[in-house]
A and B are shown apart, each in its own frame.
Chain A
Amino acid sequence: MVKIKKENLNELYKLISAEKSLFVPAKKAGQTNYALYGAETEVDLDTLKTVKSAKELFFPQSETLYNVKTVDNKYSVTQAELQNEEFVAFGVRGCDIKGIEVLDKVFLSEPVDTFYKARREHGVIVALSCNEPEESCFCTVFGVDPADAKGDVTATFSGDYLYMKANTEKGEKLLADCASLLEAADESEIADEKAKIAEILGKLPYANLSLEGWHGGATEEKFNSALWEELYKPCLACGTCTFVCPTCQCYDIKDYKTADGIQKYRCWDSCMYSDFTMMAHGNNRTSQMQRFRQRFMHKLVYFPANNNGMYSCVGCGRCVDKCPASTNIIKVIKAFSKEGK
């Protein structure tokens, strides 16, 4: 384990960014999102949750797949370049890392998504423990320990220092490269901080949320429940929950006519939208109730059914914070447990 004084963090960012791309939570026009570190960047590690999750570093909201160009009346197709340089994602919280594990299940199983895979192989994740969990957090329900987030490196603030510990080879290499700025430290120095975090976690309003009844085999009873008719009503059918979610992985593939050809790109899609998975015959899900139900059934029933019980919710609470109509996964789970089914 090593440590660095808080005031020297800027030196650390500069050192890392001199060699490779460094992505940090950065404040811009009042909001914190991941951004490429540069001289002007206002790094913000105090904000617990970036608006968009760290998902976008590995699975960007939109990315080009290939370009078609017309040259001398012939078509030429160029595939977009895969990530081929190492980059560092700094300050990723435990929930977002769990989110990436969920994405791995989707994109790294056959057929492998090469764009995602290339980013995963070249990305070094520096995880950051959550010193001050917030009321909308419920990651512990999904087995995340926010005091010990498992990235390539685990970083924890305690006192005047940021303590760092490598968990993987990639992580060890990163810390070795930065050795000039780091001091040796002992695991025991952050024990108090960890205990403090554990104590707060127990006091969070959603700490005791029960997932009883939500599992891969619950399709029939949950799908046909009359509760959905009530639960969906406040939903405005916007895509906020899906776009801030660290695990929502649906995307659309589209064409765009450029100056001299066609760009084929993909972008995040949202099951809340009426044109989601639109086909020639129309849409499979014709009402907002069905679309609303789909999102929660996918997270809590369909995904576990196909992935050995792993839920595709990680309890980050972004949807709790951001839903314009204040409806969210917690309210859904609670409504079902109140009904006792």
Chain B
Amino acid sequence: MQEIISRLEELFAEGKINRVLGWKKGDLPYNPEPAYFESAEALKDFVYDGFCGANLSKYFIQGSAFEGVTAILLKPCDTYSFNQLIKEHRVDREKAYIIGVGCKGKLNVEAIKAMGIKGITDIKGAEIDGDCKELTVETLYGDKIVAYKDAMLERCHVCKGKEHMVYDELLLESADTLDGDRFAGVEAIEAMSPEEKFEFFRKELSKCIRCNACRNVCPACSCRKCVFDSNKFDSEQKANVDPFNESMFHIIRAFHVAGRCTDCGECSRVCPQGIPLHLFNRKFIKDINEYYGDFIAGENAEEKGPLTNFTLDDMEASERR
């Protein structure tokens, strides 16, 4: 981590950057927050460790409005989102100095808590300079050892790879974290009967509190005014009045980012009710790959997306599997 700070200090000193968009130390061992650092001195609060899961790409929509150049720290998977935002002209590439930082998998404190671990006072082993194999969780009720892998976010188990798609320079080593099948969850649902599918989604979606965190954190959801914030129609955007509202919201949310979603996994990370929202997005990704050829959103900033494109002999809707 010191390597990043030293490099940023250099960039400040050389006058190449006006500010940094990175992560700031939290007051608990696991809650760093996205933050702007306006000077080299401010970097004393900078942190980059296993808990810096937040994708900073979306913050750069706001960052693009600031004067001068902002150094932005992006993990490999974040760069897909950034590319996508460049493609959609939502961020200003000229104003960004992208530092691609290595990633050894990002952690999910909810996963640690789900193991029954309470009263966390300190977590050791999440440092990016370490080997990221084991966490020592100190709690008010004694110390616990947790395998790093078991505390990782779902998205890291199905990592897209540790290569940065867009950057000005790279820092720090990455470690491979892929150990799962990205579409296994989708396939398991596809294999169910319509009744079972309906039951499954009803159970998950009935937890939804309509906080819109999944939408607001999503780098692909960058509309100035969301269709769900419109008062032109009476479907509710902030209340779970009827089960239909939840289904509609989540289907449309995923549809609006279909072909643009990079599967960065932020929606599932932030859901306060732990709804596996990626299952919606991945279904679209899987269908797009199967029906229209493999496509990875954000791999570059030029290629047309699958829903803004067509071929003369696309399959008919009735031929869907």
Residues of A within 8 A of B (CB): 28-31, 33, 46, 48, 51-52, 61-62, 132-136, 200, 203-205, 233-234, 236-240, 242-244, 252, 254-257, 265, 267-270, 273-275, 278, 320, 322, 324-327, 330-331, 334
Contacts and interface: CB of A to CB of B under 8 A. Distances in A.
Contacts of B274: 29-31
Interface residues of B, number: 47
Interface in B31-63: 31-36, 54, 59, 62
Nearest to A206: B27
A179 to B, nearest CB: 34
Given A256-B241, A278-B231, A320-B31, 20 more contacts: A31-B207, A51-B273, A61-B209, A62-B240, A62-B241, A135-B121, A204-B140, A205-B28, A238-B213, A238-B217, A240-B209, A243-B209, A265-B241, A267-B236, A324-B269, A325-B54, A325-B217, A326-B26, A326-B54, A331-B33
Contacts of A30: 114, 274
B241 A133 contact: no
B239 A267 contact: yes
Nearest to A319: B272
Contacts of B114: 30
Interface of B: 26-28, 31-36, 54, 59, 62, 114, 116, 118-121, 139-141, 203-204, 206-207, 209-213, 215-217, 229, 231, 234, 236, 238-241, 269-270, 272-275
Residue from B121, B212, B231 whose CB has the most chain A CB atoms within 10 Å: B212
8 contacts: A33-B207, A233-B62, A234-B33, A240-B270, A267-B236, A268-B239, A325-B217, A327-B33
B47 to A, nearest CB: 11
Contacts of B240: 61-62
A52 B241 CA distance: 16
Given A62-B239, A233-B36, A205 B121 contact: yes
Contact of B140 (A200, A242, A243): A200
A299 B201 CA distance: 36
A330 B272 contact: no
Contacts of A320: 28, 31
A236 B273 contact: no
Contacts of B204: 29
* A interface, over-half SS: loop
B310 to A, nearest CB: 34
Closest 9 CB pairs of A and B: A267-B239, A324-B270, A238-B213, A326-B31, A62-B239, A236-B216, A238-B216, A326-B33, A240-B211
Given A30-B274, A135-B140, A236 B239 contact: no
Chain B's interface: helix, strand, loop or mixed, by majority?
loop
A237 B216 contact: yes
Nearest to A233: B36
A270 B238 CA distance: 8
A45 to B, nearest CB: 14
Contacts of B33: 234, 325-327, 331
B120 A135 contact: yes
A244 B209 contact: yes
Contact of B207 (A29, A200, A274, A275): A29
Nearest to B224: A274
B154 to A, nearest CB: 12
A46 B141 CA distance: 15
A236 B215 CA distance: 10
Contacts of B35: 233-234
Given A62-B241, A238-B212, A244 B272 contact: yes
B234 A238 contact: no
B203 A28 contact: yes
A330 B27 CA distance: 9
A274 B229 contact: yes
A141 to B, nearest CB: 14
Nearest to A273: B238
Nearest to B270: A324
Nearest to A257: B234
Nearest to B209: A243
Given A134-B118, A267-B241, A31 B273 contact: yes
A242 B216 CA distance: 15
A136 B35 CA distance: 21
Given A320-B31, A325-B34, A51 B272 contact: yes
A139 B153 CA distance: 30
Nearest to A276: B238
A306 to B, nearest CB: 25
Nearest to B272: A322
A176 B34 CA distance: 54
A237 B36 CA distance: 17
A132 B217 contact: no
Nearest to B273: A31
A236 B119 contact: no
B198 to A, nearest CB: 14
A62 B241 CA distance: 6
A205 B123 CA distance: 14
Contacts of A324: 54, 213, 216-217, 269-270
B203 to A, nearest CB: 5
B49 to A, nearest CB: 13
A242 B33 CA distance: 19
A38 to B, nearest CB: 15
B231 A236 contact: no
Contacts of B212: 238-239, 273
B291 to A, nearest CB: 30
A322 B213 CA distance: 10
A252 B272 CA distance: 22
Nearest to A288: B62
B238 A269 contact: yes
